[in-house]
Amino acid sequence: MTLPEPAGQGFLNIHLPCHSPVIDKNIYLYGFSDSSMRLESKTSQLATLLILSIIWGSSFILMKKGLESFSNIQVAALRIFFSFLFVLPFIVRNLKVLSGKNIPSLIIVGLLGFAIPALLFTKAQTRISSSLAGMLNSLTPLFTLITGLTLYRSRTGWTSVAGVLIGLFGASGLVLQDGLNILRGINGHALLVAAATLSYGININQIKYKLEDLSSIQITSLALIFVGPIAGIYLLFSDFGTSGFQEGALKGLGYIAILALFSSVIAVWLFNHLLKFTTTLFASSVTYIIPVFAILWGISDGESIRLIQLLWIGIILLGVYLVNKQESIEGLKR
């Protein structure tokens, strides 16, 4: 069916199947919906990957800014609670799709996609550098591959496996370009980031293979039901009130709110939407491109780029290309 264009707004007509009444209610909410953005072309998928890289590439510095005013647990709890508040309108509109079939999977997504990584990353960044955290974050496609094969019985080709390994090699080289000094910062806290990427790997496969009947907006919003209120209760009984009166606390809250809105709501929705149109390995390869945008941010700040950096970027893009090539081959076979 074709929905009429709302008066006074520049929306395009959106074509939806008649059997999606629940998704229909999300169409005009906040001006976007799953059905209004089809990611069937490779160009749109790659563009989405780049947008995600820009957003998530900025999340480490936002966490660092938040940690200047609040404890690591408070930053994580604020991020989750703010995210919950931002998606509350979607939660209200989609409560009716909750069922005994999808609730366990949504709990897993809430824990492994939101709560646990948020806690692990903020704790880790109290003791390791953002660069090291960014490098370890590149383990996500590898854990996505391993957990997909072992826990979800997914199938993939050798081309994708090669692409994952090449991309990991390129991302590691890009971060370690100035030598191995960064590795001196490795300690037990680095394992927390590795654990977070393992959580992401399971989360990605859970969404792809267990929640295919829900839209990406529904997955993103409903998963926060199971962790958002808990984060709010923790803040209520913590010393958050005392921390909030410290100098710079208001600015810190602003950074965390931006982190929640862009990295935990908009980017997660985009990522979950991308999963509807592509493979888990291609979607998770976004973590390989994040270090690339870290360099671009540096250039915009007056830093120079070297030939070796272009080489590592080329290797990363080769890895992403191989994963994408395997996906195209599988699409032709189908």
What pLDDT score was predicted for residue 333?
45
Cα–Cα distance measured from residue 160 to residue 282, given in angstroms and rounded to the nearest whole number:
9
Q: pLDDT value at position 327?
A: 55
pLDDT of residue 7: 39
Q: How many CB atoms lie within 10 A of CB 37?
A: 14
pTM above 0.85, yes or no: no
Cα 107-146-183 angle, rounded to 5 deg:
100
Query: Which pLDDT value is given to residue 168?
Result: 81
Quick one: pLDDT at residue 46?
87
Q: What is the pLDDT of residue 174?
A: 65
- C-alpha–C-alpha distance, residues 153 and 131, integer Å: 33
Q: Is 250 exposed, middle or buried (0-12, 13-18, 19+ CB in 10 A)?
A: exposed
What local confidence, expressed as pLDDT, does residue 218 receive?
95
- Looking at residue 265, its pLDDT comes to 96
Cα(91)–Cα(98) distance, integer angstroms: 10
pLDDT tens track, the chain, 334 positions: 333 334 333 333 333 344 444 444 454 445 455 655 778 788 888 899 989 988 988 887 888 888 888 999 999 999 999 999 999 999 999 999 999 999 999 999 999 999 999 999 999 888 876 666 766 787 888 889 889 988 998 887 888 788 888 888 887 776 665 554 545 545 567 788 889 999 999 999 999 999 999 999 999 999 999 999 999 999 998 887 676 567 778 899 999 999 999 999 999 999 999 999 988 888 988 888 877 776 666 566 565 667 776 787 788 778 877 776 755 444 434 4
- DSSP string of 295-329, one letter each residue: HHHHHHTT----HHHHHHHHHHHHHHHHHHHHHHH
Q: What Å distances lie between residue 9 and 190, 228, 293, CA to CA?
A: 48, 32, 33
8-state DSSP, 11: P
Q: Round to whole Å and give the CA distance between 252 and 263.
A: 16
pLDDT of residue 102: 96
pLDDT of residue 239: 82
Integer Cα distance of 220 and 138 in angstroms: 22
The pLDDT value given to residue 159: 82
